[in-house]
Amino acid sequence: MDEGGVNEPHYSVVRPVGRWAATPVQAPATVPRRIGFVWDHVFRGDEMFAIAQEELSARDPRLAFVPYQAFGDIHGRAAAHAAASLPARLRAEEVDAVIVGVGA
């Protein structure tokens, strides 16, 4: 039996990946003045955010900050609620940028 060469079958195959279903979004490129911290309550984000706020304030004293407590825990058992309520909380706190962490 010919194990290769011209008699070898060819296969026309389809792709196994599903169709991409997301819609691209992007917030406007405003200069941030009021920054919120959104934390998943892991990996020492509280420590990092405190240091970052201190450093950012030193660089620009006009910046205002909203602490992570305002936005709920986006990872814990109430993560779904935190995610669902996040847009309203962002509006209520009038932030124009968020620093989200920590992925690790």
Partner 1 sequence: MRACAIAEAAGVRALAVVSSGFVGQARALARSLGIAGVWVSEYPGVIPIDPSDVLEQKVRAVLVPSLVAGLAARRDHGPPARPEPDLRSVAFAGTLDEVQDHFVDQGWSDGLPVVPPTLDRVRRFLEFTDRDPDEVLGVLRPGEREASVWTVAANGVMAGCRPEYMPVLVAVTEAVADPEFAVEDAGSTPGWEPLVILSGGLAKELGFNVGAGVMRVGRRANSTVGRFVRLLLRNVADLRIPPGDTDKASIGYSFNVALAEDDAVIDELGWEPFRVDRGFRRDQDVITVQSVVAISPPIYSSGARALDHMETIAYLLGTTCGPWSFTGVWFGRWHPLLVLGPAVARALAGDGWGKDDIRRYLFENVVLPARWFDRYARDVISSDVSLRDLVEKGEAPRRYAESEDPERLVPLLLREEWTGIVVAGDPGRNQSRAYINNHRQGAPVSKPVVLPRRWEELRGASG
Distance CA 13, CA 31 (A): 49
Contact pick of 48, 64, 65, 70 for partner 1 (by CB under 8 A): 48
Binding of partner 1 at residue 62 (CB under 8 A)?
no
Interactions with partner 1, residue window 74-103 (CB under 8 A)? 74, 76-77, 83, 86-87, 90-91, 95-103
- Nearest of 25, 32, 16, 28 to residue 94 by alpha carbon: 32
Contact pick of 3, 15, 61, 62 for partner 1 (by CB under 8 A): 15
List C-alpha distances in Å: 65 to 6, 79, 83, 104: 70, 22, 20, 24
Contact pick of 51, 69, 81, 92 for partner 1 (by CB under 8 A): 51
Binding of partner 1 at residue 70 (CB under 8 A)?
no
Tell me 19's DSSP state.
P
Alpha-carbon torsion, ordered 94, 72, 80, 63, to 10 deg:
30
- Nearest of 10, 79, 1 to residue 38 by alpha carbon: 79
Binding of partner 1 at residue 28 (CB under 8 A)?
yes
The binding site for partner 1 (CB under 8 A) comprises: 8-32, 35-36, 38, 40-45, 47-48, 51-52, 55-56, 59, 74, 76-77, 83, 86-87, 90-91, 95-104
